[in-house]
Structure 1
Amino acid sequence: MKTIKLSLAALMAGGAFVGASAEGDTPKRTLKPNRMLVYNTLPPEVDSLKDMLMEGEFYGRLRLNTFYWDWAEEKYAKSATTGLNVGAKDNWTAGLGASLTYKSAYYYGVGFTIDGYTSQNPWHVDREDIPTLKAGKDVLSRYDAVNDGDYHMNVLAQLYLEYKFAKSSFKFGRQKVETFLTKSNDTKMIPNTFEGYTLTSKYFDKTTIKLAYLTKQKLRDHTRFHDPITFKNSDVYSSDPLKKATASWANNDDAGVHRGLRYDYFEKAGEDVDHDLIIAEVWNKSIQNLKVMLNYTGVPDVLYDITGEAHYTFKAGDFKIVPGIRYMMQFDDGGGKVGGASLLGLLSPYASTGNQDGGYSDPHSLDGWLFAARVDLKSDAPWKFRLGYSHIGDEADIVAPWRGFPTGGFTRAMGQYNWTANTDTYMLRGDYNFDKAGLVSGLKAMFRLAYQDYDQDKYVTVNGSKKQLQLSDRTVLHLDAIQKIKALPGLEARVRMAFVMADDNFDGRDPSYNEYRFEMNYLF
């Protein structure tokens, strides 16, 4: 099996190089700083089924990602039941991979896309250290590595049929879904994708409408599609200690997942363990200089969100000043009585600690809200700045395990989850274009400085000791640099660093850490 998978990786990489030499030096796609792809070349509309295939386009991508995580203070132990290390241990890993995409031409508006990915993990931590991985976990599947010894991922992440009509596109199948709370978030090796139906329309002037009915999700470090919100799977009942422990990685195990909305708790509550995700989103630019958004995202019988957002551009001499606001309301639709108000799941009525309120006004409700504001300062100069603030209402934590971040674009720094109840975040961001300044060709850099003030009065007591439900207050400095290699269009390198200075945990441990990432991409 490993030989077959490695051969697949070699075939994809080889095909990529052949495609690159055949098509010349102009990349068919380019990467935005947030790693979303921009297609510079798309297949045409054709007059026959034969041309639908013959006039399609291949797109390739080669990538390398490396990660190193350095805790200020390590504290870990070996599990007596699984033999795996758990806790805070310095960790590293690397991924080498490729993707090959084929988009057919369109015949009477109908076309299809096939998008295959591979992530090879030849340099990695030992199996016993897999649970200690942090950011680097996304180059492999922890479930596959621990249970099967498989450190490689090969995934058909996108496979959809598309119909274009009246400035609209309907897609059915596996696909990326880019909305407020759902993102491909393709910053590692394989994107976050979904199975279901989507409709995107620009039929109405200066308006974009997105509708989605999604039945499955595949997170970036998974090889299988799974429920979009349920944490753990039926392995939670297994008599095998390893299967039972790794049930946490077999369903939705996103870092922002609600751990109380889990397989066995849904069953104990007499609720379905299979869920759908429904989305409706509208962006409008009808009023000059004003951009507004309204979004609905819901999981029937669990929860739903309604979010409004607006940005207005003022001109002041040579400067553009762009204030923006976001207001999000989260409504309990049955999930609170299953999972509780805290994302850790310790306030679920089915948890051993579920008889405590944990400092929440209603420990068994998912009603919540957030407010965020920002001001951007831009000009023709090579720099721009952003000042952001967010406050999460002192009710329930915000549930968003779909890789779209509730505070994203306002106060979220790299790897931070600052949308737990009664959290305040203040952030300063600065961007500098060294290329535009005439200093270094192809180089852009960005920093974020954020202070995150969590609610330390939210905790439960376990065996006489306090267990915090939220992170310790912390200051985060994030540095990011992207270097485009102009001698080879489509090739770029990226360095990311985060320095997190945090207060001690309740147990006296310092949870501060430094994180280092190096990434290379070649698109053609």
Structure 2
Amino acid sequence: MMMAGGNIKPAESITVKEIERTVPKHTLKSNYQVVYNQLPGKVDRFSEIFSKGMFYGRLRSNTFYFKWEAETPKQNSHLVSGLGGSLVFKSANFANFDFTLAGYYSRGFFDEDSDPVNRLKAGKDVLSRFDYTNTGSKNLAVLGQAYLRYTGIEKTNIKIGRQIVESFFAKSNDTKMIPNTFDGVVMDTKVLPDTKIRLGYLYEQKLRDHSTAHSVLAVGDANSTTSDNPQWSENDDTAMHKGLTYSRLKAAGVDPDAPLILGDIQNKSIANLKLNASFYAVPDLLSSVMTEANYKIQLDGFSITPGVRYIKQFDNGAGEIGGAAYRGQLAGHTGAYQGYKDASSLESQMIAARIVTKIDNYKVNLGYSYVLDEADLITPWRAFPTSGYTRSMARYNWMANTKSYRLEVVRNGNSKGIYNNLYTQMSVLYTDADESKGYFDEMYYYAGFVKNFPSLDSMQVRFRIGYQDTEKVDADGLDTRFEVNYQF
């Protein structure tokens, strides 16, 4: 560990007080995942689960400016901000049990007269659109985490309740003000050598801009709630299949509150080879499997890691209900896209490949992905099937018959969440889409920066900007985001 003055002190001689002084209790990685550097320990008395527990605070400001190149009656350039934070309490562990509670708050700031809430893009998540249109409130206060953890099984922990889930098909994606969380049961285990396993049964989701939990795979409508704007009451994520409405699911005899069952396995038993496999299933609707392999080749002064990924999506009934397009147009209906070979099937596949080169503090990632000409991929739980290959900020490139190519350069990446040296991420993405399905080709240019203050590691600023360039009228725009975090 580097101490003041640049001298390295042996690990065994570093005191607890020195650790507390030099490493913040919790830090924030470039992908927005929180790293808890200090955690409560085990206690012998029940009363100490509270007194020996720890609080983790965070103040947060996030501002979004979206500039359309062409204004229309349905889209206008706009500015929206969020101000708030979170307070997390983790108890000490008693008799192999502990718990976590986390409250989150966000106050949205925008001018409804010039920037109607239904036209907000990235900044819409700083408040609940559903609550605002029904109550007028720009405040969003939620219990984001509330779970009990059991650690009595060797190399295993089980969490029950509302929690952050980081898996291949479901993530927190905490890029706004409040993370995406789920209600359910998740088990993590390392009982097998060189292997990590995660299994989850998630019966409800709470998206970032929702004050209450909702269905994992149903769009709200007039039959799910009598409130205004029912389409924002259930899963209204941008990547949600718009054809899987509450009414259509009910009419087909499918439970709109069906759970999301998922699993991940990672194995590193072969030197330099990382193998991953994941799955998800929503009973009577959809399921999917993913396999991936990355092999690191260490050379003189740098490394090269080729990787491949394959996804197979299985239609278990959702295609007949909602159609092949995630936008929800059914074959034969007004406005349906006719470019799908089977407009009532969600059977689909994706292949992807990349080469990652690391030299000193630089990483260069050249990636490719291709969603076969079958159906759109459906993953509306804030995890992205092209992530790490051709995913850039706010880009959805997993529609049928879409090829994507991305070049990404990263400087000063680290896993500690303290960026005293400026973290830089830049990428160029080209998407070759299928116009017959209602999509369009585009170039997307992205730059992101993260910086911690050297004299105050707990203060972090972020600036991200993306520009969409297409040949489609009124589609081009500049997406700008500025964020400040203070953790204590």
> Match for 2:125 among 131, 138, 141?
138
The 1:345/1:434 distance shift into structure 2, 3 A limit, reads: closer
Pairing 1:258–2:241 present = yes
Deviation of the 1:236 alpha carbon: 6.6
- Mapped partners of 1:247, 1:519: distance in 2: 31
The 1:358/1:396 distance shift into structure 2, 3 A limit, reads: same
- List aligned pairs for 1:368-383, cutoff 5 A: 368-380=348-360, 382-383=361-362
Deviation of the 1:299 alpha carbon: 0.3
- List aligned pairs for 1:221-232, cutoff 5 A: 221-232=209-220
- Mapped partners of 1:71, 1:235: distance in 2: 35
Contact 1:260 1:348 in 2 (8 A): no
Contact 1:337 1:348 in 2 (8 A): no
Deviations 1:187-221 (A, max 9, x none): 11000000011100011121110000010000111
Pairing 1:359–2:339 present = yes
Deviations 1:42-100 (A, max 9, x none): 11011110111111111011111000000111112xxxxxxxxxx22112100011100
- Mapped partners of 1:433, 1:296: distance in 2: 32
2:479 maps to 515
Deviations 1:302-329 (A, max 9, x none): 0100110111100121110011111000
- Mapped partners of 1:304, 1:366: distance in 2: 10
- Mapped partners of 1:343, 1:517: distance in 2: 27
SS, match of residue 516 in structure 1: strand
SS, match of residue 89 in structure 1: coil
- Mapped partners of 1:33, 1:171: distance in 2: 25
1:33 maps to 30
The root-mean-square deviation of aligned C-alpha atoms, in Å, is: 1.8
Pairing 1:217–2:199 present = no
1:69 maps to 66
2:461 maps to 493
- Mapped partners of 2:52, 2:443: distance in 1: 52
- List aligned pairs for 1:62-461, cutoff 5 A: 62-76=59-73, 87-126=74-113, 129-164=116-151, 165-235=153-223, 243=227, 246-347=229-330, 351-353=333-335, 358-380=338-360, 382-433=361-412, 442-458=421-437
The 1:348/1:161 distance shift into structure 2, 3 A limit, reads: farther
Contact 1:127 1:145 in 2 (8 A): no
2:45 maps to 48
Q: Please, which runs of 5 or more residues in structure 1 have no aligned partner?
A: 1-22, 77-86, 459-467
Pairing 1:59–2:39 present = no
- Mapped partners of 2:37, 2:392: distance in 1: 29
The alignment of Structure 1 onto Structure 2 pairs a total of residues equal to 464
Deviation of the 1:126 alpha carbon: 3.8
- Mapped partners of 2:21, 2:426: distance in 1: 35
Deviations 1:342-389 (A, max 9, x none): 00111267x5456xx611111101100101111111022x32211000
The 1:341/1:480 distance shift into structure 2, 3 A limit, reads: same
- Mapped partners of 1:26, 1:124: distance in 2: 40
Contact 2:275 2:293 in 1 (8 A): yes
- Mapped partners of 1:441, 1:397: distance in 2: 41
Question: Structure 1: which amino acid aligns with 2:94?
Answer: Y
- Mapped partners of 1:352, 1:274: distance in 2: 28
- Percent identity reads 41
Q: Please, which runs of 5 or more residues in structure 2 have no aligned partner?
A: 1-19
2:5 maps to none
Question: Structure 2: which amino acid aligns with 1:519?
Answer: E
- Mapped partners of 1:60, 1:227: distance in 2: 29
- Mapped partners of 1:491, 1:302: distance in 2: 44
The 1:111/1:338 distance shift into structure 2, 3 A limit, reads: same
The 1:31/1:267 distance shift into structure 2, 3 A limit, reads: same
- Mapped partners of 2:328, 2:412: distance in 1: 43
- Mapped partners of 1:237, 1:60: distance in 2: 35
SS, match of residue 157 in structure 2: strand
- Mapped partners of 2:189, 2:178: distance in 1: 27
Question: Structure 1: which amino acid aligns with 2:248?
Answer: Y
Question: Structure 2: which amino acid aligns with 1:43?
Answer: P
SS, match of residue 457 in structure 1: helix
Q: TM-score, normalised by structure 1?
A: 0.86
Deviation of the 1:24 alpha carbon: 5.9
Contact 2:223 2:246 in 1 (8 A): no
- Mapped partners of 2:327, 2:356: distance in 1: 34
Contact 2:99 2:147 in 1 (8 A): yes
- Mapped partners of 1:74, 1:353: distance in 2: 24
Question: Structure 1: which amino acid aligns with 2:354?
Answer: R
Question: Structure 2: which amino acid aligns with 1:66?
Answer: T
Question: Structure 2: which amino acid aligns with 1:67?
Answer: F
Question: Structure 2: which amino acid aligns with 1:327?
Answer: Y
Question: Structure 2: which amino acid aligns with 1:374?
Answer: R
Deviation of the 1:237 alpha carbon: 7.7
The 1:126/1:156 distance shift into structure 2, 3 A limit, reads: farther
Contact 2:185 2:202 in 1 (8 A): yes
- Mapped partners of 1:126, 1:273: distance in 2: 36
- Mapped partners of 1:427, 1:122: distance in 2: 34
SS, match of residue 161 in structure 2: strand
- Mapped partners of 1:172, 1:124: distance in 2: 40
Contact 2:347 2:375 in 1 (8 A): yes
SS, match of residue 154 in structure 1: strand
- Mapped partners of 1:306, 1:483: distance in 2: 37
Question: Structure 1: which amino acid aligns with 2:339?
Answer: G
Single out whichever of 270-279 and 63-72 deviates more from structure 2: 270-279
- Mapped partners of 2:39, 2:299: distance in 1: 39
Deviation of the 1:489 alpha carbon: 1.7
